[in-house]
Amino acid sequence: MVEVLIIGGGPAGLTAGIYCRMRKLSVLVVDAGRVGGQLLSVYADKPVHDWPGQAQVVANELADQLVAHARESGVEFAENEKVADLRRPGAGFEVVTHDALTREERVHPAASVIIAIGAGAFEPRRLRVKGEDGLSEDFLTYRMPEPARVAGRRVVVVGGGDSGLESAQAAHRAGASVTIVHTHAGFKGMEANLDVLDQMNIPRLLGTKVTELVVEDGALKAVMVETRGEPGTRRLDCDYLVVNIGAAVNLQAVQGWGVEVEGGHIQVDGGMQTSVPGIFACGDIVTYEGKHKLLITASSEGAVAANSAYGFVRKPARVTMKDLYR
């Protein structure tokens, strides 16, 4: 039995793992895919500008650094194992996983659990319009576009959050002709991203939704859009579509474990404690007043969750940070 089992090896789970090892707790990080989280699975080639100590670092390099740090600290990994169930047999927990390839079931006993599943096992939200089903990755992505795929092409990016704005910038830099389509009247991204968008002079259609994809012989030819307050639909010719409208996390399983959720997120207190004693949570999946979905907050919450798990498992008279500074 491990003292702490962490579900999800993104920045939150990896930092929690590192902190568990600072406390000499035995720890296993289980991930449905490769550890690294969204840094690898969603925007591997994007530069990150807000990781302290590095003015600029490419996302996949930052992921490699976090994974290497965790590995060197003695964190154990179980990759390609999706957590399907969490049982409470009496004392402690049993985390049930399915191997991604063989579907083989494994059971990992643990004294405590940290849920750090971020945006889930990346199940992107789809447009749900005609033409979307079956369109190949030569014409459609739900991640950040790869430069080689979009160079010289006409690209429509759907989404007005930071993901959409950064995808539009990446496609523009790769030499694509880009248009952004967003359902709301204004973008939701950070000022820095909006400034870059303005500098690049990327055309945008606000208050606009995609109603249909025009596909001929398996190839994307155009998207049909409808703008609020304007009659009828309009055709935007394009040969590549980027859809960045969020990820749909299915929290039904988590609710089944007895953990309280609110609006698609797990509720935690200041110690990252969930409604179930011994189960903690951190990163994009949690909510509390003032929560921001950032790498730095995910990591910070991971450190807090690890220290709380230490208090739960080892039951010291007091959890003090002083013993960490030796």
Is residue 115 a contact partner of residue 257, using CB atoms and an 8 Å limit?
no
Amino acid at 68: A
Cα separation, 40 vs 38, in Å, equals 5
- Among positions 26, 65, 100, 120, the unique one binding ligand FAD when judged by CB under 6 A: 120
Nearest distance, CB of residue 301 and ligand FAD, angstroms = 8
Measured CA to CA in angstroms, residue 140 lies from 48, 113, 148 at distances of: 24, 37, 14
How is residue 144 annotated by DSSP? P
Is residue 17 a contact point for ligand FAD (CB under 6 A)?
no
Distance CA 233, CA 19 (A): 54
Among 60, 61, 64, 82, binds ligand FAD (CB under 6 A): 82
Answer for the pair 29, 35: CB distance below 8 angstroms, yes or no.
yes
Nearer to ligand FAD, 142 or 222 (CB): 142
Tell me how crowded residue 268 is: count the other CB atoms within 10 A of its CB.
26
**83 interacts with ligand FAD by CB under 6 A:** yes
Residue 38 as a binder of ligand FAD (CB under 6 A): the answer is yes
Which residue from 157, 153, 197, 199 is spatially nearest to 176, judged by alpha carbons? 153
Identify the residue among 67, 111, 298, 313 touching ligand FAD (CB under 6 A).
Answer: 298
Nearer to ligand FAD, 67 or 222 (CB): 67
Q: Which is nearer to ligand FAD, 141 or 215 (CB)?
A: 141
Interface of this chain with ligand FAD, residues 139 to 178, rule: CB under 6 A: 144, 162-163, 166
Question: CB of 213: closest distance to ligand FAD in angstroms?
Answer: 22
Interatomic CA distance for residues 98 and 238, integer angstroms: 40
Quote the least distance from Cβ 70 to ligand FAD, whole Å: 12
Question: Is 8 a residue that touches ligand FAD (CB under 6 A)?
Answer: yes
Contacting residues for 58 by C-beta, under 8 A, at least 6 apart: 44, 45, 46, 47, 48
Residues 262-291 that bind ligand FAD (CB under 6 A): 283-284
Nearer to ligand FAD, 11 or 278 (CB): 11
- 116 lies in the site for ligand FAD, by CB under 6 A: yes
Nearer to ligand FAD, 111 or 113 (CB): 113
Q: For residue 95, which of 78, 79, 113, 75 has the smallest C-alpha distance?
A: 113
36: left (phi over 0), alpha (psi -120 to 50) or beta: left
Q: Which of 2, 28, 32, 140 binds ligand FAD (CB under 6 A)?
A: 32
66 binds ligand FAD (CB under 6 A): no
**Which residues are near ligand FAD by CB under 6 A?**
7-13, 30-33, 37-38, 42-43, 46, 48, 50, 82-83, 116-121, 144, 162-163, 166, 283-284, 293-296, 298
